């Protein structure tokens, strides 16, 4: 049966039996997508790191409750989303706690790395438009933002995203579409300027 | 293959996470040729997708994994104890039990004191009734008397004991004076 398992689920079964190496493997594999989802949900890089670490600690603590029927990444991102929502609620209750949190405009460039493409994207990544799109993403309603980010990161299928968000498949597709349409509407002035070139055009 | 507007929109969403196939591109070109106004919309979608794909990712710190593992090891070493919520729950339960015991103790004390006071009052009333009995029938001091100067009231008199007790607000001395005067 183990051969038919999703490799992550197989690792998680080993974690359930107390295998630290399997757990380390899962952390290594998912730390980056989890960290970035958390970061884009709460908007504070320092707290995002702590919260992302906490996500994995929760995974370890809840290992006994993991059922193979659920895809590991779906389960993981559901935990991540729930912890983020708790953090957002906590901040709403205690607004002073987040006063020092830097906004997306105060990003420290050294902390970010775009590994999706090589040199041609560097100019794009540094452009004002990137920070505008970052801001616009942050302003999206939470469920649209989460759906869009999970979709963008290619980790999950529509069905898995709908499980994380807790809505139907069609509602999830609609969330992703509406998120993109909202971004398009907000960024229209910048898109019209023509100073945003696709890679195809640059080449 | 002809595409509908809805399919083009779905394709725009899909283009965010995967390159389009040759068949999809040619179908799209066919659609855009037939609907020139949709071309600018498609272009904006492409630009948004491009921007989203290039959002800079946050890099996990070099000790991310080791910190997680250290925390997990620390949790493993920790003796099993109640979660904070459960501890709080049991503390509240203990507090409730303590309050209950205090209320029970105070209640018992009041009840006991009330019983003592009641007995004293009964005794006082009994003495008064005995005095009345002595006045009515002074010639029969019996050996079984508790006090040398009192006579035990007869059974008929004791039938009205409760009524006499309820009249305790009336001074017994006045009644005795009246009885003496009548005699």
Name chain A contacts of B44, Cβ cutoff 8 Å. Answer: 184, 188, 191
If you average pLDDT over residues A103-118, what whole number do you get?
Answer: 46
B55 with A148: Cβ contact below 8 A = no
Please check whether residue B156 lies inside any domain of the structure: yes
- In eight-state DSSP terms, residue A113 is E
The per-residue pLDDT for range B56-94, each reduced to its tens digit, is: 889 999 999 999 999 999 987 776 555 444 445 566 778
Is the pLDDT at A105 greater than 80, yes or no? no
Tell me whether residue B98 is in a domain: no
Whether residue B71 lies inside any domain: the answer is no
The answer to whether the CB of A22 falls within 8 A of the CB of A14 is yes
Task: Say yes or no: B49 and B110 in one domain.
Answer: no
Query: What's the pLDDT score for residue B51?
Result: 87
Domain with CATH 1.10.10.10 in chain A: 120-196
The interface pTM score, or ipTM, of the predicted complex is 0.76
B176 SS3 class: helix
Greater confidence (B115 vs A98) lies with: B115
Decide if B25 is inside a domain. yes
Q: Is pLDDT above 70 for B141?
A: no
Q: How many domains does chain B have?
A: 2
My answer on whether B43 and B111 are in the same domain is no
> Closest Cα of chain B to A144: distance in Å?
13
Whether A179 and A145 have beta carbons less than 8 Å apart is answered as yes
Q: Look at A173 and B183; give whichever has higher pLDDT.
A: A173
Predicted pLDDT at A83: 95
Residues paired with residue A112 on neighbouring β-strands, in sequence order: B58
Q: Is the pLDDT of residue A22 over 70?
A: yes
Residue B81 lies in a domain: no
- pLDDT class of B177 with cuts at 50, 70, 90: confident
> How close B33 gets to chain A, by Cα (Å)?
20
The predicted model gives B118-135 an average pLDDT of: 77
Range with the lowest mean pLDDT among A84-88, A96-100, B75-79, B91-95? A96-100
Put simply, the answer to whether B52 touches A183 (Cβ < 8 Å) is yes
Tell me where in chain A the CATH 1.10.1740.10 domain(s) lie.
1-97
Q: Does residue B148 lie in a domain region?
A: yes
For Cα atoms B130, B135, B139, give the angle at the middle one, nearest 5 degrees. 100
Residues 82-141 of A with CB under 8 A from B: 107, 109, 111-117, 121, 124-125, 129-130, 133-134, 137
Chain A CB contacts of B58 below 8 Å: 35-36, 39, 45, 48-49, 111-112
The answer to whether residue B144 is domain-embedded is yes
Range of the domain at B18: 5-53
Report, as an integer, the average pLDDT of A100-121: 46
Instruction: Pick B167 or A187 by higher pLDDT.
Output: A187
* Domain annotation covers residue B79: no
A1-97 has CATH 1.10.1740.10 classification: yes
Q: Lowest-pLDDT range, A77-81, B2-6, B165-169, B176-180?
A: B165-169
A36 touches B58 (CB < 8 A): yes
Please tell me the distance from the alpha carbon of residue B47 to that of residue B52, in angstroms, as a whole number.
Answer: 9
∠ Cα A124 A127 A131 (to 5°): 110
Token readout for B45 is 């979608």
- CATH no., domain A120-196: 1.10.10.10
* B22-33 pLDDT tens trace: 999 999 999 999
The residues near A178 (Cβ < 8 Å, ≥ 6 apart) are A144
């Amino acid at each position: 049966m183990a051969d038919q398992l999703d490799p992550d689920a197989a690792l998680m079964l080993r974690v359930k039996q107390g295998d630290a190496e399997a757990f380390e493997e899962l952390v290594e594999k998912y730390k980056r997508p989890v960290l970035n989802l958390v970061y884009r949900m709460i908007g504070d890089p320092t707290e995002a790191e702590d919260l992302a670490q906490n996500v994995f600690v929760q995974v370890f603590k809840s290992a006994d409750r993991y059922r193979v029927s659920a895809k590991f990444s779906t389960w993981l991102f559901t935990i991540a989303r729930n912890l983020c929502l708790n953090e957002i609620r906590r901040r709403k209750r205690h607004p002073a706690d987040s006063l020092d949190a830097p906004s997306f405009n105060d990003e420290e460039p050294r902390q970010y790395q775009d590994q999706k493409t090589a040199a041609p994207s560097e100019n794009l990544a540094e452009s004002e438009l990137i920070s505008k799109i970052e801001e616009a993403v942050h302003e999206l309603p939470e469920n649209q933002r989460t759906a869009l980010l999970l979709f963008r990161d290619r980790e999950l299928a529509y069905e898995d995203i709908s499980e994380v968000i807790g809505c139907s498949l069609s509602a999830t597709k609609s969330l992703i579409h509406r998120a993109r349409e909202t971004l398009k509407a907000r960024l229209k002035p910048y898109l019209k300027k023509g100073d945003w070139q696709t890679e195809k055009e640059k080449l | 293959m002809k595409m509908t507007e809805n399919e083009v929109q779905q394709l725009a969403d899909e283009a965010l996470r995967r390159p389009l196939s040759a068949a999809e591109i040619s179908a799209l070109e066919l659609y855009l040729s037939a609907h020139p106004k949709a071309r600018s919309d498609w272009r904006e979608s492409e630009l948004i997708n491009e921007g989203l794909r290039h959002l800079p990712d946050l890099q996990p710190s070099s000790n991310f994994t080791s910190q997680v593992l250290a925390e997990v090891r620390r949790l493993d070493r920790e003796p099993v104890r109640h979660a904070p919520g459960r501890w709080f729950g049991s503390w509240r339960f203990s507090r409730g039990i303590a309050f209950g015991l205090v209320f029970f103790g105070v209640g018992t004390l009041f009840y006991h004191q009330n019983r003592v006071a009641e007995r004293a009052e009964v005794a006082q009333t009994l003495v008064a009734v005995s005095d009345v009995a002595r006045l009515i029938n002074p010639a029969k001091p019996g050996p079984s008397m508790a006090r040398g100067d009192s006579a035990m009231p007869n059974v008929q008199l004791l039938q009205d004991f409760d009524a006499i007790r309820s009249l305790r607000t009336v001074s017994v001395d006045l009644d005795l004076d009246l009885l003496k005067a009548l005699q």
